[in-house]
Amino acid sequence: MTSPTTIFDTVESESRSYCRSFPTVFTAARNATLIAEDGTEYTDFLAGCSSLNYGHNDPDMKQALIDYLSADGVAHGLDMFTGAKRAFLESFRDIVLKPRGMDYRLQFTGPTGANAVEAAMKLARKVTGRHNVIAFTNGFHGVTNGALAATGNGYHRGGSGMPLSGVTRMPYDGYYGPDIDTAAMIAKQLDDPSSGIDAPAAFIVETVQGEGGLNAASPEWLRAIAALAKKHGALLIVDDIQAGCGRTGTFFSFETMGIEPDIVTLAKSLSGMGLPFALVMMKPEYDIWGPAEHNGTFRGNNHAFVTAREALEKFWATSAFMGEVQDKGDLLHNRLSAIADRYGFSLRGRGMFRGINTGDGDLAAAICKSCFEQGLIIETSGPEDEIVKVLAPLTIPRDQFERGLDILEEAFDRVLTKQTAKAA
């Protein structure tokens, strides 16, 4: 007997993962709605792990891409000049960089986030002539070997089969609880010539740790880390692959933190439409690569240039969208607070990048499973997968957002009431 998913079970590698939580075949998607082949509609609170901040198949991005395809626009051009790349660079300069007073050079790496992180870490090592990169507990930076060395998660690290070297792990903000200033701990270690910490080439940090459990660093802590980097001659790399492109309420997640990274990585929602596309931004003085020294066949995806430009023009040319995201972030905070308060759980994250720490991976999984049965796609994160993480598209209509949050709330009630009943 074959089922609609037999082909996946018999032919696709066991490495497949999200499909295990959502074992249905999806065939269409619009904004915050995913549609299965049997016609069932699901609200998407996963949004491609924040690769779909503007929802599925935004009509304007889709039309821009259709027009480009119809006109036989260049699909692949290595890293040659194309009209699509020029238009993207102009929009990025005028809409993102200039209004923020930012001066960066843009390097298009291979199309995944890990590709951008690899390039960023290599560049920092090349600039400083040092090998040691400081990364943080619960950091996630991708799973290619160089990036994986900076990733904390033991399950992912265990997949390498190689020593993951060149990185020193330091405690993230709040790692030892609210009373311990981990930036001061790190400062002491770096100041001590006998601490055994090699002089760092870079610090690589997420302002909110997406995969690591939605830990949000305070502006003070980030400023302290930025000052430490400067003092010790290291570059500050902000990995904004998941927290960037509006997820926290501003285009970059660090915009309101009072820091000026030397290098920034972007990927996930950068293309706007879920197309693979990644970017390394570096301060001009660190743009010291030789031509093709860090090369790759897919450096800059022309289809993504088209949709990414449309995303910038549509959502970021004025501040209206930013205000809308901040309002939705407040709504999310209020709704999650009500649930967390009822059960004594804590909240994590900021902006539209928030979740509830249930303290228990099995419990969080049961809640997500219950949501799926009621038509809501939502996942967990954190070291024990104990955080229920809401990653709705930023463009989700308010009523659909509220309905999705209703399903989430009911799932908490259903699963926790059942548990209490079992215990009694």
Q: Which residues bind ligand PLP (CB under 6 A)?
A: 112-114, 117, 140-142, 206, 210-211, 239, 241-242, 267-268
Question: Could you tell me the smallest distance in angstroms from the CB atom of residue 49 to ligand PLP?
Answer: 6
CB-nearer residue toward ligand PLP: 279 or 408:
279
Q: What's the gap between Cα 186 and its chain centre?
A: 25
Q: What's the gap between Cα 402 and its chain centre?
A: 23
Question: Could you tell me the smallest distance in angstroms from the CB atom of residue 370 to ligand PLP?
Answer: 26
**C-alpha pair distances (Å), 235 with each of 59, 138, 160, 352:** 40, 20, 26, 28
CB-nearer residue toward ligand PLP: 173 or 206:
206
Distance CA 149, CA 151 (A): 6
Residue type, position 23, single letter: P
CB-nearer residue toward ligand PLP: 297 or 420:
297
CB-nearer residue toward ligand PLP: 205 or 407:
205
Question: Could you tell me the smallest distance in angstroms from the CB atom of residue 196 to ligand PLP?
Answer: 28
The encoded tokens of residue 342 equal 């009822």
CB-nearer residue toward ligand PLP: 91 or 265:
265
Which DSSP letter does residue 385 get? S
Question: Could you tell me the smallest distance in angstroms from the CB atom of residue 21 to ligand PLP?
Answer: 17
Sequence-ordered strand ranges (E) for 278-397: 279-282, 346-350, 353-357, 376-377, 379-381, 387-390
CB-nearer residue toward ligand PLP: 61 or 150:
150
Neighbour count for residue 189 (Cβ, 10 Å): 15
Q: How does strand 41-44 pair with strand 376-377? A: parallel
Neighbour count for residue 219 (Cβ, 10 Å): 13
Neighbour count for residue 235 (Cβ, 10 Å): 26
Nearest to 299 by CA among 80, 128, 131, 150: 80
When CB distances to ligand PLP are compared, the closest residue is 113
CB-nearer residue toward ligand PLP: 110 or 249:
110
The encoded tokens of residue 184 equal 């001061």
Question: Could you tell me the smallest distance in angstroms from the CB atom of residue 155 to ligand PLP?
Answer: 15
Q: Could you tell me which residues are beta bridge partners of residue 280? A: 107, 265
Nearest to 8 by CA among 28, 35, 32, 26: 26
CB-nearer residue toward ligand PLP: 51 or 302:
51
Question: Could you tell me the smallest distance in angstroms from the CB atom of residue 209 to ligand PLP?
Answer: 8
Question: Could you tell me the smallest distance in angstroms from the CB atom of residue 226 to ligand PLP?
Answer: 18
Question: Could you tell me the smallest distance in angstroms from the CB atom of residue 252 to ligand PLP?
Answer: 13
For residues 195, 201, 202, 203, the Cα torsion angle rounded to the nearest 10 degrees is: -10
Question: Could you tell me the smallest distance in angstroms from the CB atom of residue 278 to ligand PLP?
Answer: 7
